[in-house]
Amino acid sequence: MIRHLSLKAYGKINLGLDVLRKREDGYHDVRMIMQTVRIYDHIDIDLRREPGITLSTNLFYLPVNENNLVYKAAKLLMDEFGITQGVNIRLKKIIPVAAGMAGGSSDAAAVLFGINKMFRLGLSQQELMTRGVKLGADVPYCVMRGTALSEGIGEILTPLPPPPHCKVLIAKPGISVSTKAVYENLHANELKPDQHPDIDGIIQAIQSQDLASLCHKMGNVLETVTLRQHPVIRNIKDFMMEHGADGAIMSGSGPTVFGLYSDPDAARTTYEQFHYAQSNELAKQVFLTEFFHNRNHFTKGENQ
């Protein structure tokens, strides 16, 4: 049995996000291109003799009980397999919170992986993904990671080849957005044809390794809601495009914006300009990163 695990929970962006319709059960059918990026939260899991789960985080406003997806993920597997020993979980958040980057879902996915490994439960990746959907629609993707087409409510996943190499500049303004509120205001069944991004075209651009075409076709239908409510998101997009980005869109339900840069020097310069005084009102958290492709790498060292 493993006594300690250190895990990396990577964030994601949406190279394309389309909502096809609102279903009668209240969920939405989506078609999304999901992409993991090299920004990650740190999660440490330690075995303890006493039963139960303890959770601590570096952010005072995050819950450390059943209202946290990390806690729910650990409890889901420990209850199912009747695990009587306990775990201490420490979560260090780096991925912006409530930002459209699936930080909470990725944390949950890493803990599913960790509990499975620590207690040698023998669950396959697919079995972890099946359990993950009980925690949230993005969790199965966060178990799989890499580049994928996501359909249904997000749980139907088709792996795709990695997109062409580029720098990814990520900027989150000093606001948070409720995913639930964005979808409630979308009115998906009333969208016009030209408001839907070309998901098939994005897939084609990825398969042909055509960065220019990928950037041209990128789109997020949720911008029709979030940009109207938060003009700063458009300002960030414009700032990136004016400073060398090949393309820039909002990720998920926002408010995070990312830009793709074929020119690494332009990406670095823009990253630095976001930190200048005149740009501070644009973004409070800025990252310069790249795509992440390793589907199976969660651990960064373990002691058995």
Q: What is the pLDDT of residues 29-78, one digit of tens each?
A: 999 999 999 999 999 999 998 999 999 999 999 999 999 999 999 999 99
5: alpha, beta or left? (left if phi > 0; alpha if psi -120 to 50): beta
Selecting among 138, 167, 237, 246, the annotated active-site residue is 138
- pLDDT at 260 (0 to 100): 98
Length of the chain: 304
- pLDDT at 301 (0 to 100): 43
d(CA 271, CA 283): 11
53 and 87 in contact (C-beta within 8 Å)? Answer: yes
List b or e across 220-241, with b for residues whose CB sees 16 or more CB atoms inside 10 angstroms: bbbbbbbbeebebbebbbebbe
Selecting among 8, 12, 167, 172, the annotated active-site residue is 12
Q: Which two tokens stand for residue 129?
A: 């993904």
Whether 138 is catalytic is yes
Place of tokens 């440490």: 44
Our measurement of the distance from residue 40's CA atom to the centroid of its chain's CA atoms, rounded to an integer in Å, reads 10
- pLDDT at 109 (0 to 100): 98
- pLDDT at 118 (0 to 100): 97
Between the alpha carbon of residue 178 and those of residues 18, 71, 99, 259, the distances in Å are 18, 21, 9, 22
Whether 265 is catalytic is no
- pLDDT at 303 (0 to 100): 37
Q: Which stretches of the chain drop beneath a pLDDT of 50?
A: 277, 301-304
d(CA 20, CA 220): 12
d(CA 124, CA 112): 11
CA dihedral 252, 257, 261, 267 (to 10 degrees): -150
256 and 172 in contact (C-beta within 8 Å)? Answer: yes
Q: Which two tokens stand for residue 255?
A: 């408010």
pLDDT in tens, 168-194: 999 999 998 888 889 889 987 888 888
Q: Which two tokens stand for residue 110?
A: 């890493």
3-state SS record for the chain = CCCEEEEEEEEEEEEEEEEEEECCCCCEEEEEEEEEEEEEEEEEEEEECCCCEEEEECCCCCCCCCCCHHHHHHHHHHHHCCCCCEEEEEEECCCCCCCCCCHHHHHHHHHHHHHHHHCCCCCCHHHHHHHHCCCCCCHHHHHHCCEEEEEECCCEEEECCCCCCCEEEEEECCCCCCHHHHHHCCCHHHCCHHHCCCHHHHHHHHHCCCHHHHHHHCEECCHHHHHHHCHHHHHHHHHHHHCCCCEEEECCCCCCEEEEECCHHHHHHHHHHCCCHHHCCCCCEEEEECECCCCCCCEEEEEC
d(CA 6, CA 4): 7
